[in-house]
């Protein structure tokens, strides 16, 4: 029996894609064994992900020829919203609480979207959750669609004195103990003025904040100079001071160079020019890497380390984990700006504009008296 042209060009089903991925992977494994090549466990994991993606890419390319999306329906938008929650949560199980759906229900919606698009949007299994090329395109389309609908909703509600929707705000770690940061006061005012807005707040490393702003997972963020990017617009909020600390007690005559000479390690942070410059200038042979300020504080409190911490954070730890400034280290102290940051190409919603106005006003009261020129934008 000869299959018709229509039948041979029909989109692959999800089980077919998974079978083809498995066949492709094990075929690659057989080739390694046949050629007597040594395969290391790490290489096998990387090769497995590469093979799964290659198999799905080939399946998707063949299937999408017969699954072009001619028009977007309300059902499509709902599927895209669900898929966006899954992708941003990192898997189906992780998205259950956010969507308030059971995993089986979420899985059915994802499969329906895959049928609609004609290919697999994600891979899941022992190798972990991962978006396919089609899935990454679908995620960006979902974010764009949600942004557009937010703008339409704001326009329709512009004549009413009410703000609704969602607002995702990202914060750099350990801003809470900085007395110059008026973030909690601003959030309190925002919730009073816009109680219908669903506010999402997350604390993340600076690198993640920048990436999530550019991929539109966050509407705005509050962070330091490491978020500088021409695609991001910044508005100064407050300043933070950092000094060189170590665990108490310490020899009052031992400066940073002397402590490193005694075997102290320098705590460095990824892409932090101050800690890296300190290690290079002192010629430190021992360095430890920390991700986040709490990790820096933990290493310092453990002893035999020197590193930079914001002064307000060191003071907040003084009762439980006494830290002292490294003697004769004034030259190493530095200050840096914290700013409100959002994407240049992504217009803020009414909720975003309201939060921006409240944050700027809350910090301008302190900044104007000290230095009126500091409250600036685009810096």
- Asked whether 103 and 90 are in contact (CB, 8 A), the reply is no
Return the ∠ at Cα 236 (arms to 234 and 241), rounded to 5°. Answer: 125
Residue 22: pLDDT above 80? no
Residue 349 and residue 149: Cα distance in Å, rounded? Answer: 10
Element (H, E) at 308: strand 305-310
* pLDDT confidence of residue 318: 85
Instruction: Kindly tell me the burial class for residue 106, based on how many C-beta atoms sit within 10 Å of its own C-beta (0-12, 13-18, 19 or more).
Output: buried
Q: What is the pLDDT of residue 78?
A: 92
Q: Label the pairing between strands 232-247 and 305-310.
A: antiparallel
| Cα–Cα distance measured from residue 358 to residue 352, given in angstroms and rounded to the nearest whole number | 10
Q: Return the top range by mean pLDDT from 39-43, 150-154, 327-331.
A: 327-331
Task: Indicate whether 279 pLDDT > 90.
Answer: yes
Predicted local confidence at residue 158, as pLDDT: 74
User: Scanning the structure block, which residue is given the tokens 């607002």?
Assistant: 167
Question: What is d(CA 129, CA 365) in angstroms, rounded to the nearest whole number?
Answer: 47
Dihedrals φ, ψ of 368, to 5°?
-65, -35
DSSP code for 330: G
Looking at per-residue pLDDT, the higher value among 257 and 156 belongs to 257
**Given this model, what pLDDT does residue 51 score?**
57
Residue 223, helix vs strand vs coil: strand
Bigger pLDDT: 293 vs 376? 293
Calculate mean pLDDT across residues 77-82: 92
162-181 pLDDT per residue, tens: 888 889 999 998 888 999 99
With 0-12 / 13-18 / 19 or more C-beta atoms within 10 angstroms meaning exposed / middle / buried, residue 182 is buried
pLDDT at 225 over 90: no
> For 336, phi and psi rounded to 5 degrees?
-150, 160
Residue 68: which region, alpha, beta or left (left: phi > 0; alpha: psi -120 to 50)?
A: beta
Structure tokens belonging to residue 260 = 């490193």
Residue 367: the pLDDT is 59
Of the chain, the percentage scoring pLDDT greater than 70 comes to: 78
pLDDT digits (tens, 9 = 90+) for 25-68: 444 444 443 444 444 444 544 555 555 555 555 555 454 454 67
**Of residues 126, 138, 144, 173, the one with CA closest to residue 316:** 173
Taking residues 238-262, report their average pLDDT.
94
What is d(CA 223, CA 172) in angstroms, rounded to the nearest whole number? 5
Q: What are phi and psi of 161, to 5 degrees?
A: -85, 60
């Amino acid at each position: 029996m000869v299959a018709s042209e229509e039948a041979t060009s029909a989109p692959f089903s999800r089980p077919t894609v998974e079978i083809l991925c498995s066949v492709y992977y094990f075929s690659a494994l057989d080739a390694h064994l046949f050629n007597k090549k040594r395969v290391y466990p790490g290489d096998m994991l990387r090769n497995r992900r590469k093979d799964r993606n290659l198999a799905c890419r080939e399946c998707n390319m063949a299937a999408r020829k017969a699954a072009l999306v001619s028009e977007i329906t309300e059902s499509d938008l709902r599927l895209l919203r669900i898929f966006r929650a899954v992708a941003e949560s990192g898997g189906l199980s992780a998205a259950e609480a956010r969507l308030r759906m059971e995993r089986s229900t979420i899985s059915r919606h994802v499969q329906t979207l895959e049928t609609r698009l004609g290919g697999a949007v994600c891979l899941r299994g022992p190798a972990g959750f991962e978006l396919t090329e089609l899935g990454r395109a679908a995620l960006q389309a979902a974010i764009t669609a949600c942004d557009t609908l937010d703008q339409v909703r704001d326009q329709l509600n512009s004549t009413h004195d009410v703000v609704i929707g969602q607002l995702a705000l990202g914060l750099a770690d350990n801003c809470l103990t900085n007395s110059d940061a008026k973030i909690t006061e601003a959030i309190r005012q925002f919730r009073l003025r816009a109680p219908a807005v669903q506010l999402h707040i997350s604390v993340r490393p600076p690198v993640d904040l920048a990436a999530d702003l550019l991929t539109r997972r966050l509407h705005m963020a509050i962070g330091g100079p490491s978020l500088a990017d021409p695609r991001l617009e910044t508005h100064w909020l407050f300043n933070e001071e950092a000094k060189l600390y170590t665990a108490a007690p310490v020899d009052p005559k031992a400066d940073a160079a002397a402590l490193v000479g005694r075997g102290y390690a320098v705590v460095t942070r990824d892409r932090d020019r101050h800690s890296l410059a300190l290690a290079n200038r002192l010629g430190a042979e021992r360095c430890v890497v920390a991700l986040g300020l709490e990790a820096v504080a933990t290493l310092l409190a453990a002893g035999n380390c020197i590193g930079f911490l914001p002064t307000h954070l060191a003071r907040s730890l003084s009762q439980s984990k006494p830290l002292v400034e490294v003697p004769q280290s004034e030259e190493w102290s530095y200050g840096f700006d914290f700013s409100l940051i959002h994407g240049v190409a992504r217009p803020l919603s009414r909720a975003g504009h309201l939060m921006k106005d409240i944050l700027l006003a809350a910090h301008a009261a302190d900044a104007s008296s000290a230095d009126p020129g500091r409250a600036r934008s685009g810096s």
